[in-house]
Amino acid sequence: MPRPRSKLMLKAFSGGTFSRDFTASIVVFLVAMPLCMGIAIASGVPPEKGLITGMIGGLIVGLLAGSPLQVSGPAAGLAVIVFEIVQKQGLSALGPILILAGAIQVIAGLLRVGGWFRAISPAVVHGMLAGIGVLIVVGQFHVLFDDKPLSSGLANLIAMPGQIFGLSNQDAATAFAVGLVTIGGMLGWEKLRPASLKLLPGALVGVVLATLVAFFLGLPVARVVVPESIVSAISLPGDNLVQQLLNPTIITTAIAIAFIASAETLLSAAAVDRMHDGVRTNYNRELSAQGVGNLLCGVAGALPMTGVIVRSSANVQAGARTRLSTILHGIWILGFVALLPWLLREIPMAALAGILVVTGVRLVSVDHVKHLLHRYGPLPAVVWAATLICVVATDLLTGVLVGIGLSLIELLPHARRLRLGVDEEARDDAHEVALHGTATFLNLPKLSARLEALPAGRLVILNVERLSHIDHTCAEMVREWVDRRRGTGAQVELFGATGRMRHLAA
């Protein structure tokens, strides 16, 4: 019989659990503050819009989330598409788009389609993130010089040499130096910090160092602009909301944001699950919670949100045990913005750009494409590269659709036999799962649900002798499941593993 919610809440506030969550919430708050503002600026909107999204992500989504330890807020992965919306449709279009995107996510969660987002090829997802990383770097590179990014990734890339040659401009050179101080402080701290201060985030150290340098030297650089009251930053929808919601361009953009935000959120949740041994993610509940959050962000005129891996991993590493940590971090953001807005106004814009340049570079994971190439051959690597190139050269949605289309090539040789059979047999000392047929991303939700439902603590024998083919998406899911189960101390043995399945037997 499930325990009443009141008892679960009392447990969250008791003893060691509360102290761990309290400490973790402060760490997450320190990580989130510079990122919320930086991502807002990269999106072409005022920094307070990102802070509002961070508050909603903590206070509302943290309470409703299906992944208790995942932290939600503005995501670098959506900065590019938001920038395009603001440039082409205006800031007023962002609210209706997010209201519609949030409603789509809520409905998708209620219809239990959350598991299907996990079926997106890892090559597509990481290619998308790499493309976003490139766009963030080439865009924020101009902000390092107190300049504004141009309207497209290619335009920003072409204009980069001009910024370097323009360093004879003293103000631009000063801003660039402040950005370099931020990057140097961030990377230096992450490399040299003592073990006792390992939870102090490098991004915060970099921003504080650059802010102090700019303040004490009185440097003439652009600084963050925030309103006296956070309430004044809320922009409610206009009287023409219904008309905007029926606009085909608004509808198309909302679908794109809902799709990309959902994929990034649920893949981040899967990664968070691999970091701890606590409650597993309820993907459908998480999807609906994100929808509620984005809907509220649309009403408030803020940025879209996703589950974000940087803040979530900081939350887990800081020792969080329940969702209370995420909720508290939202309270700390609210309190800081309400009581200390003058302090935020001392932060140089170039400092936030420096943080985002490092964030963008880290999104381009060459190690991941090497992993795909080594284990699964050239096709996933080609999908990754094609997605990256199309995201940079065209737009985010086109890049993702191209990647998904190319990943379908892996199905062509097996088009006539795409069925997957899963047979289970319980014994006294073990539980055997026999797979036969073809395992592809089309079967992934079903296969993942069967594997996750296996009894904990028992030896599992995964018999793949009659499995004729497994694509790289399914193989990655099974590999992660094996690693996670073995990480809990349970045994997993593979029988009949050949080809791609051999990598799981190690």
Share of residues in the chain with pLDDT > 70 (%): 95
Q: Over the stretch 230-269, which tens digit does the pLDDT of each residue have? A: 888 888 888 888 889 999 999 999 999 998 899 889 878 8
* pLDDT at position 50 over 90: yes
Rg (the chain; Cα; Å): 23
Q: What does the pLDDT average to over 459-486?
A: 87
* pLDDT at position 163 over 90: no
Is the dihedral angle over the CA atoms 406, 500, 262, 140 positive or is it negative? negative
CB atoms within 10 A of CB 329: 33
Asked which of 174-183, 185-194, 222-231, 292-301 is least confident by mean pLDDT, the reply is 222-231
Distances (CA, A) of 203 to 22, 127, 334, 355, 505: 21, 25, 20, 6, 39
Q: What does the pLDDT average to over 106-131?
A: 86
Instruction: Find tokens 């600026």 and name the residue.
Output: 41
* pLDDT at position 168 over 80: no
CATH 3.30.750.24 segments of the chain: 420-504
Q: For the chain, what is the mean pLDDT?
A: 87
* pLDDT at position 294 over 90: yes
Tokens of 292: 């509620």
DSSP letters, 428-494, are: SSEEEEEEEEEE-TTTHHHHHHHHHTSPTTSEEEEEEEEEEEE-HHHHHHHHHHHHHHHHTT--EEE
Query: Taking CA 24 as the corner, what is the angle to CA 310 and CA 299, rounded to the nearest 5 degrees?
Result: 65
DSSP letters, 206-262, are: HHHHHHHHHHHTT----B----S-GGGG-----TTHHHHHT-HHHHHHHHHHHHHHH
What is the fold, at CATH topology level, of the domain defined by 420-504?
Transcription Regulator spoIIAA (3.30.750)
Task: State how far the Cα of 63 lies from the Cα of 336, in Å rounded to an integer.
Answer: 20
